[in-house]
Structure 1
Amino acid sequence: MNEDVFWELMETCRPSNGDPEGDELAAALTARLASGPVFTVIGFAEQLSWALYRLDRKEYGDGLSGDQFLYTRAAVVAAGREEYESVLREPRRFAKYADGLVWAEVLLYVPDNAYARLTGEEWDRGTRYSYESYSNAAGWADA
C-alpha cells in the first residue's frame, strides 16, 4: 500500500459525522481491511506507522507525556491527509489536538484487529518505523 492508497482508504472510511475520537473511523477501517487480503493490512500498518513517525518531533511533543503525544499524533492522522500535511508544514497547528480533548488511540489498533479478524490469529509483526513516542531520534535531536 502506498501513501496515496492509505489516505484514500482513510477518507473512504471517514464517517460523515466527523467523529473526533476516531471510533467510527477505526471500526470502518477494521471492517474494510478485514475483508482481505493480508498484505493490505500489512501495508496499512506500515503507512500508519510512517505517518505517526513523521510527527514524532520535538516541536510537536515537547512537554507531553508519551501516551498523550502518541494519541494526539493519531488524532492528527485521523483528521485526514489535508490536515496532517498542514500540521507537518505548520507545527503550531498540532496544539489544537494536544489539548487532550481529541485523541484517537483506537486508530492504533486497526491493523491488529483487522489481522485477527482476517486470519483468526494475533498480530505478531513489527513495522519498519516505530510509532512509539520519542522513537524518531532525528526528530528529537537538538538543532
Structure 2
Amino acid sequence: MTWADFWALIATLNGEATEESCQRLAEKLSRRPVPDIIGFAERHAEALYRLDQEKFGTLPVVDLTARFGSPFPQSSDVFLCTRCAVVAAGQTVWESVFFDVDKFAPYTSSERDGEWLLYVPDKAYQLATGKEWDRRTRYCYESYSNRDGWPDLSD
C-alpha cells in the first residue's frame, strides 16, 4: 500500500479516531484485498513508529496536572494513543508535528484519545477473512521502541 492510499483511508476518519469512525474505516478496508489490509497495518505501524520520539513522548498531558500543579507526564499507553490521534488527524497534521513539536502537544489531551485506530487492521482482517490475525509488522509501534527517537534510553 502506498502512503497516498494509506492517507486516503485515514481521511475517512474525518480527523478523529472514534469508535464509529474506526469501525467505518475497518469496514471499508475489509472490502479491499488482504494484501491491502496488511499494507495498511504496515503503514500504520510505521507512522506510529516515526512519531515515537523523545521530543513528543516527554510532553506533558495538556489538560491534567500532577500533585501541586506540576505537569502530568504521558504514560507509555497515553503516548501510544496520542500518536494514534495524530495519525487519525491526517497527513497534514502528522507531517507538521515533525517540524513543530508544539503542534503535537494538543493531541496529548485526554479528549483526543486515538486508541480505536489501533484495532482497525485487526478488525478489517477479521471482517475480510473470518479469522483473527496475529500480526507482526516490520515496525513496532509500542512506545519507546524507536531507538533513534530515544537515543538516551539504554537497552
Identify unmatched segments of 5+ residues in structure 2: 59-72
Distance 1:25 1:52 in 2: 19
The equivalent residue for 1:108 is: 118
Q: State the SS of the aligned residue for 2:95.
A: helix
Please list the CA deviations of residues 42-101 of structure 1 after superposition, one character each: whole Å capped at 9, or x if unmatched: 000000000000000000002420100000000000001111111121112111011222
Match of 1:45 among 41, 46, 51: 41
Q: Contact 1:35–1:118 (CA<8 Å) still a contact in 2?
A: yes
Q: Does 1:137 align with 2:136?
A: no
Q: State the SS of the aligned residue for 1:97.
A: helix
Distance 2:89 2:118 in 1: 14
Letter in 2 for 1:60: F
The equivalent residue for 2:5 is: 5
Distance 1:31 1:127 in 2: 21
Identify unmatched segments of 5+ residues in structure 1: none
Q: Looking at CA atoms only, which structure, 1 or 2, has the larger radius of gyration?
A: 2
Report the TM-score, using the length of structure 1 for normalisation: 0.91
Distance 1:42 1:71 in 2: 21
Match of 2:26 among 27, 30, 53: 30
Q: State the SS of the aligned residue for 1:138.
A: coil
Q: Contact 1:21–1:103 (CA<8 Å) still a contact in 2?
A: yes
The equivalent residue for 2:137 is: 127
Query: Aligned pairs, how many?
Result: 138
Moved over 6 A (4+): none
**1:21: how far off?**
4.2
Distance 2:52 2:37 in 1: 23
Q: Contact 1:23–1:104 (CA<8 Å) still a contact in 2?
A: no
Q: What is the percentage of aligned positions where both structures have the same residue?
A: 49
Report the TM-score, using the length of structure 2 for normalisation: 0.84
